[in-house]
Amino acid sequence: MIPSRLKSFLLDNYLIKIVSLIFAVALWLYVNSSGGVEMDLTVPLELRNMPTSLVVVGDTMDNVDVRVKGRERLLRAMTTSRIRAVLDLSNGRAGSNVYLLDPTAITVPPQVQITRISPRRIPIRLELRAAQNPEGR
């Protein structure tokens, strides 16, 4: 036996309550499904694991352009200090080298996808380090 106040609370204007519930669920689904916002970022390029016998010669890129996709709230909170492009030079050899920058070389939060990297090919010229003269000449 439901008290009359509770019964009237649940059953009065039931059509408006059902429409409101459907509208709220539809709005919730729309907000949670729209995670496809894209944003362009300029990301610093770090050179790591360079052999000690080699040195970078000439101009190198300092930044790469990256397009990321994810939830708008997450992308707005993301700063370029949290995202980095790391180029592994461990297999570098003396002379001209071209490295392919793939999405695994860029650190982003797990909920963010990388959709484009520009440029993908990074040219770097490496030369043998000059021998150090112990006498300073």
111 and 54 co-located in one domain: yes
Q: Which DSSP symbol is given to 133?
A: P
46 and 19 co-located in one domain: no
40 and 104 co-located in one domain: yes
14 and 65 co-located in one domain: no
22 and 39 co-located in one domain: no
24 and 39 co-located in one domain: no
3 and 63 co-located in one domain: no
Q: What phi, psi does 64 have (nearest 5°)?
A: -130, 155
Domain annotation covers residue 38:
yes
Q: Is the pLDDT of residue 22 over 90?
A: yes
For residue 110, say if its preceding peptide bond is cis, omega within 30 degrees of 0. no
CB 60 within 8 A of CB 47: yes
48 and 60 co-located in one domain: yes
Give the CATH number of the domain where residue 46 resides. 2.170.120.30
66 and 89 co-located in one domain: yes
pLDDT at position 19: 93
Domain annotation covers residue 85:
yes
Give the residue carrying structure tokens 């300092």: 62
Domain annotation covers residue 122:
yes
65 and 119 co-located in one domain: yes
Domain annotation covers residue 91:
yes
**How would you class 31 by CB atoms within 10 Å of its CB: exposed for 0-12, middle for 13-18, buried for 19 or more?**
exposed
Report how many domains make up the chain: 2
71 and 10 co-located in one domain: no
pLDDT digits (tens, 9 = 90+) for 126-137: 898 876 444 544
27 and 47 co-located in one domain: no
Q: Which domain holds residue 105?
A: 34-128
Q: Which DSSP symbol is given to 132?
A: P
pTM over 0.85: no
pLDDT digits (tens, 9 = 90+) for 41-57: 888 888 888 888 888 88
CB 64 within 8 A of CB 108: no
